[in-house]
Amino acid sequence: MAAFETPPLGEYPVIPLVREGAMAHSKPFVAKPEHQQGLGFPGELVPDWENVAVTKLGQLVSQSRGLQVFLDACVKCGACTDKCHYYLGTSDPKNMPVARQDLLRSVYRRYYTFAGKFFPWLVGARNMTKSVLDEWYSYFHQCSQCRRCAVFCPYGIDTAEVSMAARDIMDSVGVGQKYSNEIIGKVHKIGNNLGLPERALRNTLDGLEEDVKEETGVDVKFPLDVKGAEVLLITPSADFFAEPHIDGLIGYAKVFHAAGISWTLSSHASEAANFSLFIGNHDNLQKVAGRIRDAALDLGVRRVVVGECGHAWRVAYSFWNTLIGPFDFLDPRYPAPQHICELTYDLIQRGVLTFDKSANDDKVVTFHDSCNVSRGSRMGDAPGGQFRIPREIIRACVNNFVDMAPETIGEATFCCGGGGGLLTDDLVELRVKGALPRMQALQQVVQEHGVNYMAAICAICKSQFTKVLPYYKHPMDMIGSVHGLVSKAIVLKPGN
Amino acid sequence: MSTLTVLYAVLFYFAFVMLVGGTGYKCWVYARTPQPLKIPIPPAPTTRAGVVLRMLIEVTLFRALFRSNKWIWLFGWIFHVALLAVLLRHLRYFTEPVWGWVALIQPIGLYAGFALLAGLAGLWARRFLVDRVRYISAPSDHLMLALLVAIAASGLAMKYVAHTDIVSLKAFFLGLMVFDWRELPADPVLLLHLALVAILMIVFPLSKLLHAPAVFFSPSLNQVDDAREKRHAAGWSTQIIRVDRTRGA
Ligand code: SF4
Ligand code: SF4
């Protein structure tokens, strides 16, 4: 990998001038045939791939009103051009959301619109060629599908939908991305992204029980495959072993313990993540999600709760009911699915949990809104619950909390730089540069308020920041789980 | 009947069919195309009524654009509001007797003509001055602005520089509407103005002007945020076949 420079943090955020081709070299490893085939994709570039790709594009457009409207409606107003963290971090104009859409729109126009068929030069329509495909591969893997651009577009044009479609088309002609497709393959085969088999999972959980017992003197359980438990917890597999994710898992377990809620994990569905979202493929999306319904039915649980994971929560909140619903077999008194933050918040409201905030007095905490939670889902009953609830939990657990600049949080939050299937070492340059806007906002609260801890509720955000914080001269353990804070502050009574 | 009149009569029938028929067809395609998954973008209302309100605010005040970029909002909003006023003002050429409120807004419509030009000038200037917008502008984007500017300029020219025979013009259009063709005044500025308007009508369903109807079909804006409460299914997501394994212990 070529060496690159971490972009400098100025005093104020700046919108860079266009530098054409600045990231043209960035591309992730291509999936090998064995990664492709398990997902139902051809192993390598198929013969006559141009036609296959164009036909697939037509199909996708006819199957999705969103895609069709998004490709037609853009007026090139430019409002989105400075909204993408990858543009802000790299200055490559093809990372401007509208320019990214145009990579695909140009082909759509050429084959499916009057203007593009007869006046291609006028509307920037292009034939589907190898160089177009290469450009797609590069730049549709420089989009974390964070939907920030869609918030700012007057027509709600969602570049994430466009980049999902592009990746689906590329997969259908045999050009997939190794990182995402290999992982989806593992979920199909083993049940989680890490390929962690049941025995390893059980050992890990046993180890956690011992650790927590040692630390607190309380028998907090980490149950696996317990039939008849009330709650099935679906959490990203990173929670089982990665730092700082694991503190979050311990936090969930302590919450369940303190509230006296019986719960279980499932070895069949030991993964909340569903990377099929990133590759825009609905067969895989549904298949991966299907394991969760199976597990819920097999275990006979009454509730399904989802752990801290951004895109998983989007899939759960927005798509599960469609893909694997209806959840008429679950307890109707609780939302199905329910986010772990909703559960904890509800218990806090009801006075079930006790906290000793001083346990977190070494920290000045800020909260990073994860894109898929912020712009792909909700929590609670009212709009904006996905912003309010995690903050309420944090405030219940810590004495020192400050928010980052308002234009960088909430609906307008900046992606961590590693979402959407880009959390791979072959894209480190992109990840570091894409983190710039978030790092800029963080820097400000570090300087002004002495922030030394950034909490998040997304496994990808946590891994991404662990990696990129040091590039910006922050310690990597500055990032943590919201339920890590809960874990620290919660008061457990040995008796219950 | 002059050849010119016949030519323009036919042109306007064609333009009308393209505008109404073409745009109608596109709307039908949008309406018929399913949106298989829920993808509302925040701030997403949780009720239908909320969505109607959201859409109303978006299309009248351009709220997202306002949040996004104040300059584009300013020029864009002025342009659209002025265009609306100008179009309403033009109703007097197509109605007999002229409706009271149309008569009333005539002076507003005039100022609007200048506002429209100013808005367009601002938008066009951005295409040259802001490097990001310059990068994303295709020839068609410039041409569209040129077309609109030429329409506005030729319109204003008839008001302030070279008056045209408004009475005959009105007779021409009223006649067109009842298939009773009348002579069109052969005034160069008028002919230019009319030809450009006809072109605009024709390209409407073939170009980015489609954004006007398309915005109402945009799922990120028109979906209700109620995925957990109501099971959504459309298109492929209605075809999901699920074989549940045995249930419970
Ligand atoms: S904000 Fe929307 S309409 Fe404007 S250029 Fe971007 S995608 Fe196109
Ligand atoms: S979805 Fe996010 S990453 Fe993709 S273009 Fe939009 S702002 Fe950039």
CATH (domain of A149): 1.10.1060
pLDDT one-digit tens code per residue, A12-64: 899 999 999 999 999 999 999 999 999 999 999 999 999 999 999 999 999 99
Query: Which pLDDT belongs to residue A196?
Result: 85
Could you say which of A151, A176, A201 is where a domain stops?
Answer: A176
Same domain, A243 and A165: no
With beta carbons under 8 A apart, name residues in chain A contacting B136.
Answer: 76, 78, 81, 93, 96, 98-99, 102
* Average pLDDT, integer, range A86-109: 98
Same domain, A157 and A257: no
* Average pLDDT, integer, range A413-439: 97
Among residues of chain B, what percentage have pLDDT more than 90? 91
How would you label A72-110 residue by residue, b for 16+ Cβ within 10 Å and e otherwise?
bbbbbbbbbbbbbbbbbbbbbbbbbbbbbbbbbbbbbbb
Residue B245 in this model has a pLDDT that exceeds 70:
no
Residues near A157 by beta carbon (within 8 Å), at least 6 away in sequence: A69, A70, A73, A74, A80, A97, A101, A149, A150, B218, B220
* Average pLDDT, integer, range B13-24: 98
What residue owns the CA closest to ligand 1's atom 1?
A153
For position B211, which CATH number holds?
A: 1.20.950.20
CB contact under 8 A, A378 and B44: yes
Same domain, A221 and A245: yes
Same domain, A162 and A232: no
* Average pLDDT, integer, range A379-402: 97
Query: Which pLDDT belongs to residue A211?
Result: 96
Same domain, A51 and A156: yes
**Which site among B38, B53, B68 would you substitute to test the A interface, given the most A Cβ atoms closer than 10 Å to its Cβ?**
B68
Amino acid (1-letter code) at residue A330:
L
Query: Which pLDDT belongs to residue B240?
Result: 83
Query: Which pLDDT belongs to residue B247?
Result: 47
CB contact under 8 A, B36 and A115: no
Query: Which pLDDT belongs to residue A175?
Result: 98
The whole-model pTM stands at 0.96
Residue A496 in this model has a pLDDT that exceeds 60:
no
Q: What is the mean pLDDT of chain A?
A: 96
Q: Is the CB–ligand 1 distance for residue A76 below 6 Å? A: yes
Number of domains in chain A: 2
With beta carbons under 8 A apart, name residues in chain B contacting A78.
Answer: 69, 72, 126, 130, 132-133, 136
Could you say which of A123, A150, A176 is where a domain stops?
Answer: A176
Could you say which of A147, A176, A205 is where a domain stops?
Answer: A176
Number of domains in chain B: 1
Q: How far apart are CA B151 and CA B166, in angstroms?
A: 17
ipTM > 0.90 (yes/no): yes
Task: Give the CA dihedral B137, B141, B142, B143, nearest 10 degrees.
Answer: 150
Range of the domain at B77: 3-248
CA distance A365 to chain B (A): 25
Residue A173 in this model has a pLDDT that exceeds 90:
yes
Q: Which ligand is in closest contact with the Cα of A161?
A: 2
CB of B39 closer than 8 Å to CB of B220: yes
* Average pLDDT, integer, range A445-453: 97
Same domain, A229 and A108: no
Q: How far apart are CA A496 and CA A261, in angstroms?
A: 11
Same domain, A352 and A479: yes
Same domain, A96 and A237: no
Query: Which pLDDT belongs to residue B246?
Result: 52
**Which site among A15, A72, A264, A342 would you substitute to test the B interface, given the most B Cβ atoms closer than 10 Å to its Cβ?**
A72
Same domain, A227 and A100: no
Same domain, A199 and A318: yes
**Helical spans, DSSP H, in chain B:** 3-16, 23-32, 48-61, 63-68, 70-90, 100-104, 106-129, 131-136, 139-160, 166-177, 188-203, 211-214, 219-222
Residue A431, in any domain of the structure = yes
Range of the domain at A264: 185-489
CB of A97 closer than 8 Å to CB of A149: yes
CA distance A303 to chain B (A): 13
Same domain, A112 and A202: no
